[in-house]
Amino acid sequence: MTALAFSTSTASTRRELLELLCSPEFERTLEQSRADHRADVRRWLKILGEKGYGALGFAKEYGGAGNQPAALATFETLAYHDISLCIKYGVQFGLFAGSIDNLGSPEQKAKYLRDAGHAHLPGCFAMTETGHGSNVAGLCVTATYDPDTDELIVNTPGRHAYKDYIGSAAEDAQMASVFAQLHVGDENHGVACVLVPIRDQDGNLLDGVHAEDDGAKAGLNGIDNGRLAFDNVRVPRTNLLSRFGDITEDGEYTSPIENPNKRFFTMLGTLVGGRVSVAAAALSAAKSALTIAVRYSDSRKQFGPPDGEEISLLDYLTHQRRLFPRIARTYALRAALDHLAYRFSTDDPEDHPARREVELLAAALKPQSTWHTLNTIQECREACGGQGYLTENRFADLRNDIDIFTTFEGDNTILLQLVGKERLKAFQQEVKAGGARALAAIAAEEVEQWIKRRNPIARRDESIYTDPDAMGEAFDYREARALLNLANGFNSDRRKKVPALESVISHQCDLVHYARAYAERLIFCTFRESLGDDPDEGLEKLLHLYALERLENDRGWWVEHLYFSTGVSAGLRSEVNRVCKSLRPHAVDLVNAWGIPDQLLMAPIATLPFARNERILGGSRGTSGEGVPACSKAKSTQTLPVA
C-alpha cells in the first residue's frame, strides 16, 4: 500500500464521522460558559466512545477495530468541529487508553482497554509537572515500592511537582496514568507509568488525591485541564504498566531493556502517536481558516480602476501573497503528514530503526504543521479585516485553540533540536563506519566536491524557477551542507574542549535551522512524490509555489553558500508572484477540494448563500434586499496607491 492508497483507505471513516458531526446532537454554541462548553464536550465524547470511534486503533481482542489509520483520520476530522472535542478525544483514547495500550502488559490491556477505549473509564495522562515539562526525565513525582504491603506509594514532593495542565484532571478522570520516578529498594529506575485511581464513579476524589482546576485558558476551554497531587497514595504493585519494566512478586525490578536511558526513550517513543495526531489535526484548522478567507476574499470587493467597478480582494497581489503560498504549504504538508501516518501505521513497531525514523519525522513535521497553521490562521484573520475579528467567523477560536499545539506533545523548539541531534548522531556514525549512503552519508569531502561541481556560475541558470529536479537539489544541498556545518562546529568545540552544555547552547540556532532544512526537503519530496508522474496542472503549480516561496524565504542562506547567484536569488520574488497570479482562477476550487461541510465551517462570511449575504460581502455593486437603489459612486476616484 502506498501513502496515497493508505490515505484514501480511511475515506469512509471520514465521511461517516463528518455526517455525525453535522447532525443536530453535535451542534455547537460559539459563545457559552466554560461549564456549558465542558458539558457539551463531555456529552460528545461519550457518543464517540459508544459508537466505537475511541477504540478504532486498538486490537480487536480488547474491543477495538485494529484500524490505526481510521483512528488517526478520526482525530484529524474532529478538528473541523470543536477542537476541544478533538483534544478531549486525544486525551481519553490516545493518551490515557493509549498509555495502557503502549506501556501495559497483555493482562493490563485485557483489564482496562475495553472500558478506556469506550469512555466507560474516563482517564487522564499525568506526565507534565508544573516544574518539568520538556525535561521529562527530571519529573519529581515518585512511585516507591513498599515490599511490606506489595504496593506502590505515589507521592508529590512539592508544588513544583504537581501534575499540571492535565486534560480531564479537573473534573472527569477517574484514573490517571501517572509518570513517576520508580524507586525499588534503594534504587531509582527512572521514569515509569503507574495507573492511579483518582475519583470514584460519582466523581468524588479518592483519599490522598488532590485536584485543582487550571481555570480559564486561551483556548480549548471545553476541556477540564487541571493539577493533580498525591499524598502517599497507595496502589497495588500490578498497577505499574509493565511492558518495559516490572516488579516481580519478590520485589525485584526487571526490564527487557537493560540500559535505563534506552528504556526511557523506548517508552517515550511508543507515545509518538500523539505527535503524529496533533500535527495532522492542526492542519485541519489551517484548512478551515483558508477556506473561510479565500471564499470571502473572492467575493469581497474593494477599490478598483478609476471610475470602474471595484474588484475582488483576491485579484490583488498582496492578498494572493498572503493566502496562496499558505494553500500550497498546506497541500505540501498534507502529503508529508500522510507519509508519516502511513509509516506510523504500517511499520513494524518492533523494527527499532524504522521506529526511530517515525519519531524523527514526527518531531520534524509537528513544528512545521503547528507553526504553519497558527501563522495561517492569523494571516487569514487579517486578510478578512473587521469581519475576521468577529467570533462568528471562527478565526478567534481557531487561533486560541491551536496556539498550544506549538507547545504540547513536545515544545516545537525543543523538538527541532532533537531532530538536529538525532540526524547529527546518525551522520557521525555513518562517517565512522566509513559508509556513505543516502543524505545522512554525504561526508565532508563530498559536499566540498559538490560545491566545486556546482559553482555559482552554473547556478545562474534559471532552471530553479520551473524545474522540480533543480528545486529538489537546492533543498538537498541545504540539508547536507547545514548538517556538515553542524558537525564541523561541534567537532571544533570538542577539540577546543568547550564544555558540552556551552557548546550545545552556542549551536542551538544551527540545530533548529538544520531541522527546518530537513523538514522542508522532506515535505517537498513527499509532496512531489504524491503527485505521481503526470500531475494535475493546479497541483503542480502548488508544488512550484511551495518550493519557490521556501527558497525565497531563506534565500540569503543559499546565496551565502554560493549556491544561488545573486541574480537567481533576486528573481525568486517575481517567480513567486508569477505563480500566485496563475493560481488566482483555481483558488476557490483548491480550498473547496478539502470538502469541509458548511455546517462545520460555520463562518457566515464563507457559507451564507450570496443573496442573504449582502451585508457581509458588501461592495457597491448590488442593491439591498429592501429594494433601495445601490449607492452612486462617489466622485472622488481614490484607487489603490498609484504613482
Residues 283-302 that bind a copy of itself (CB under 8 A): 302
When the beta carbons of 73 and 515 are compared against a copy of itself, the nearer one is: 515
For residue 211, the minimal CB distance to a copy of itself (Å) is: 14
Q: Does 444 engage in binding with a copy of itself (CB under 8 A)?
A: no
Contact map string, positions 525 to 564, toward a copy of itself, x by CB under 8 A: ------------------------------xx--xxxx--
457: three-class secondary structure by DSSP = coil
Q: Which residues partner with 247 through β-bridges?
A: 253
For residue 346, the minimal CB distance to a copy of itself (Å) is: 28
Query: According to CB under 8 A, which one of 89, 162, 344, 477 is a site residue for a copy of itself?
Result: 162
Query: According to CB under 8 A, which one of 48, 191, 271, 278 is a site residue for a copy of itself?
Result: 191
When the beta carbons of 73 and 83 are compared against a copy of itself, the nearer one is: 83
For residue 171, the minimal CB distance to a copy of itself (Å) is: 17
Q: Does 585 engage in binding with a copy of itself (CB under 8 A)?
A: no
**Which residues, 342 to 361, sit near a copy of itself by CB under 8 A?**
none
DSSP 561: T
Q: Does 642 engage in binding with a copy of itself (CB under 8 A)?
A: yes
| Residue 323 cell numbers, joined | 493566502
Burial class (CB in 10 A: 0-12, 13-18, 19+), 351: exposed
Query: According to CB under 8 A, which one of 132, 243, 295, 478 is a site residue for a copy of itself?
Result: 132
Torsion region of 446: left, alpha or beta (phi above 0 gives left; psi -120 to 50 gives alpha): alpha
Contact map string, positions 197 to 236, toward a copy of itself, x by CB under 8 A: -----------------xxxxxx-----------------
- Say how many CA atoms lie within 13 Å of 52 toward its Cβ: 13
For residue 124, the minimal CB distance to a copy of itself (Å) is: 15
From the list 308-316, 352-360, 432-440, 592-600, the region that binds a copy of itself by CB under 8 A is: 308-316
List of residues 6+ apart from 625 with CB closer than 8 A: 611, 614
CB under 8 A, 24+ apart: contacts of 331-334: 331/527, 331/539, 331/542, 331/546, 331/590, 332/523, 332/524, 332/526, 332/527, 332/542, 332/543, 332/546, 333/283, 333/365, 333/368, 333/369, 333/372, 333/523, 334/283
| Residue whose cell numbers read 505563480 | 579
Query: According to CB under 8 A, which one of 381, 459, 541, 544 is a site residue for a copy of itself?
Result: 381
Return the closest-CA partner of residue 281 out of 177, 420, 170, 401.
401
Q: Does 396 engage in binding with a copy of itself (CB under 8 A)?
A: yes
- Work out the angle at residue 360's Cα, subtended by the Cα atoms of residues 356 and 363, and round it to the nearest 5 degrees: 135
For residue 432, the minimal CB distance to a copy of itself (Å) is: 13
DSSP 233: E
Q: Does 117 engage in binding with a copy of itself (CB under 8 A)?
A: no
Query: According to CB under 8 A, which one of 417, 526, 530, 607 is a site residue for a copy of itself?
Result: 417
Contact map string, positions 19 to 48, toward a copy of itself, x by CB under 8 A: -----------xx-----------------
From the list 42-50, 63-71, 110-118, 122-130, the region that binds a copy of itself by CB under 8 A is: 122-130
SS (H, E, C) 251-319: CCEECCCCCHHHHHHHHHHCCHHHHHHHHHHHHHHHHHHHHHHHHHHHHCECCCCCCCCCCEHHHCHHH
